[in-house]
Copies of this chain bind each other. A is one copy, B any other.
Amino acid sequence: MKITLRDIAKMAGVSHMTVSRVINHDSMVRPEIRKKVMDVIEECDYTPNMSARALNSGETKVMGVLVLYDPEEFPAYFLTTILVGISSLLTKDEYHLSLHFDQLHKVRNLVPGHLLTDNRMDGLFVISAENNEFLLERLSAIRLPIVVVNQQVPMSGVSCIDSDEYSGAYAITTHLLRNGRRRIGFIGGTPSYNSTNMRQRGYEAALVDFGLRSDPALCGVGYFSSTGGREAAKKIIALQAGVDAIFAASDLMAVGAMSAVYEAGLTIPGDIALAGFDDNEFSKAAYPPLTTVRKNRSQMGVEAAQAMLDILARKKAGGAPLVVRKTLPTELVVRESSGSALTG
């Protein structure tokens, strides 16, 4: 049914090894024979069988991506961008990308063999929001080269690429402070998430450096959802505590908070300046456009892919295992929701 290398060989009147040499661009083939073989290959639409190749090379030319988010809090927009970034680099090296959602519990469920075990991929990207013990334990049990994307894991032997969310939060808070805001509320995401933590710490550090202190009453939790952001903002506003700005740890929550501000009959940025985090596709469409922090997610994917390729190259060369840990800069994106331009 399917055409094999030996079929091509027969048709071209050569041995199967000659065909193998042709498709591998091995120089040891006379040009005329190479051409004859190539003609047959093209005529038959022949493509080598990757399973056979993988079987004796041990390389599958597949990279896995394990996505470990709760579907409820799934950052759809942001996942795709990372994937595009990873893919753009890997494609050049003819890798396929194998996508897996939240199958952590199956990682070591061995016998059926179709899971995240060594044989079906050469490396694994892990995209996760939390670094709980469960994750860390499991990661160390996987024998594959791993690159954790979007967060820094505490174990120093694990490669990871993340964004400098702390600095981003610090910068945006400072921006609000420079605009004259002094009572800045904070809406955090899901408490167990790493980014919640980082963003809050950046926020608090900026306040401290301005001689202020964060007021626990002004800090809410929005669980990274728009309704969560809205509810949290409502509570903060209801305090009548003179809040003049709200920094929400995600754009989605910021947009929710926007609604709450409007519902309270207040203006943005007149009464309350608003800032988000992420720079989603809809944050510049908000009214007013949302000041936020941009994570270059596509770049994060690219860097992760590069790290993986480097790690595999090193492994192939037999060197000591390479560990890549990189934190990419974030960028403050000033739009109208945060009020007038810098005053100094």
Query: Which A residues are closer than 8 A to B by beta carbons?
Result: 2, 23, 41-42, 45-55, 58, 60-62, 65, 71, 74, 76-81, 83-84, 87-88, 91, 94-101, 103, 108, 110-115, 117-120, 226-227, 229-230, 252, 255-256, 258-259, 262-263, 280-282, 284-287, 289
Min C-beta distance of A130 to chain B, whole Å? 19
Which B residue sits closest to A95, measured CB to CB?
A: B114
Among A41, A100, A119, A263, chain B packs the most CB atoms within 10 A around the CB of A119
A76 and B77 contacting across the interface, CB-CB below 8 Å: yes
Kindly list 7 other residue pairs between chains A and B, CB separation below 8 angstroms, not including A50-B114, A97-B100, A282-B282.
A53-B113, A77-B77, A96-B114, A229-B285, A259-B286, A263-B287, A287-B287
B286 and A50 contacting across the interface, CB-CB below 8 Å: no
Which B residue sits closest to A119, measured CB to CB?
A: B49
**B residues less than 8 Å from A2 (CB atoms):** 58, 118-119
**B residues less than 8 Å from A84 (CB atoms):** 71, 74, 101
**B residues less than 8 Å from A79 (CB atoms):** 76, 80
A74 to B120, CA, bound (A): 29
A95 to B115, CA, bound (A): 9
Among A229, A280, A281, chain B packs the most CB atoms within 10 A around the CB of A281
B287 and A48 contacting across the interface, CB-CB below 8 Å: no
A252 and B98 contacting across the interface, CB-CB below 8 Å: no
A74 to B87, CA, bound (A): 15
A252 and B282 contacting across the interface, CB-CB below 8 Å: yes
**B residues less than 8 Å from A111 (CB atoms):** 23, 41, 47
Among A47, A78, A120, A281, chain B packs the most CB atoms within 10 A around the CB of A47
**B residues less than 8 Å from A49 (CB atoms):** 55, 119
**B residues less than 8 Å from A88 (CB atoms):** 101
Min C-beta distance of A158 to chain B, whole Å? 20
B76 and A99 contacting across the interface, CB-CB below 8 Å: no
A226 and B284 contacting across the interface, CB-CB below 8 Å: yes
B281 and A252 contacting across the interface, CB-CB below 8 Å: yes
**B residues less than 8 Å from A47 (CB atoms):** 110-111, 113, 115, 117-119
B118 and A48 contacting across the interface, CB-CB below 8 Å: no
A94 to B103, CA, bound (A): 11
A98 and B285 contacting across the interface, CB-CB below 8 Å: no
**B residues less than 8 Å from A71 (CB atoms):** 84
**B residues less than 8 Å from A119 (CB atoms):** 2, 47-51
